[in-house]
Copies of this chain bind each other. A is one copy, B any other.
Amino acid sequence: MPPSRPTLTEVARHAGVSVASASRALSGGSASPATVARVQKAAAQLGYVVDATARSLKVGRTEQLAFAVADLGNPVYVAMMRAIEGVVSAAGFRLVVSSTGASPDDEIGLIRGLNQGYADGLIVSPIRMTDHVVAELRQSRVPIVVVGSLPAGVDLDNVRTNSTRGVGLAVAHLAESGRRAVALLNGPTDTVPGRARERGFLQAMRALGRKVATAQSVTATDFTHDAGEKAASTLLTHYEPDAIVCANDLLAIGAMRVLRSRGLNVPEDVAVVGMDDTDLAELAVPGLTSVSLGSEERGRIAATMLLDRLGDRTRAASRVTVQPKLVLRASSAPKRPVR
Q: Which residues of A contact B (CB under 8 A)?
A: 1-2, 4-5, 49-54, 56-57, 62, 64, 72-73, 78, 81-82, 85-86, 89, 94-99, 112, 115-118, 138-139, 141, 225, 253, 260, 280, 283-285
Known: A64-B96, A283-B280, A284-B283. A116 touches B51 (CB 8 A): yes
A72 to B141 alpha-carbon distance, docked (Å): 30
Residues of chain B lying within 8 A (CB to CB) of residue A99: 82, 85-86, 89
B141 touching A5, Cβ below 8 Å: yes
A5 to B73 alpha-carbon distance, docked (Å): 35
A49 touching B112, Cβ below 8 Å: yes
- Distance in angstroms from A191 CB to nearest chain B CB is 21
Copy count, this protein chain? 2
Residues of chain B lying within 8 A (CB to CB) of residue A85: 72, 97-99
Q: Could you show 22 A-B contacts with beta carbons less than 8 Å apart?
A: A1-B138, A1-B139, A4-B141, A50-B116, A51-B57, A51-B117, A52-B116, A52-B118, A53-B57, A53-B62, A53-B117, A54-B57, A57-B57, A64-B118, A72-B78, A73-B82, A89-B99, A94-B96, A94-B98, A97-B97, A225-B283, A253-B283
- Distance in angstroms from A225 CB to nearest chain B CB is 7
A95 touching B94, Cβ below 8 Å: no
Closest B residue to A249 by CB, please name it: B283
- Distance in angstroms from A63 CB to nearest chain B CB is 8
Residues of chain B lying within 8 A (CB to CB) of residue A95: 96-98
CB within 8 A of A117: which of B52, B97, B112, B139? B52
10 other A-B residue contacts (CB within 8 Å) besides A72-B78, A225-B283, A284-B285: A1-B141, A51-B116, A53-B53, A53-B62, A53-B117, A53-B118, A85-B97, A85-B98, A94-B98, A96-B96
A49 touching B116, Cβ below 8 Å: yes
A2 to B72 alpha-carbon distance, docked (Å): 33
Closest B residue to A57 by CB, please name it: B53
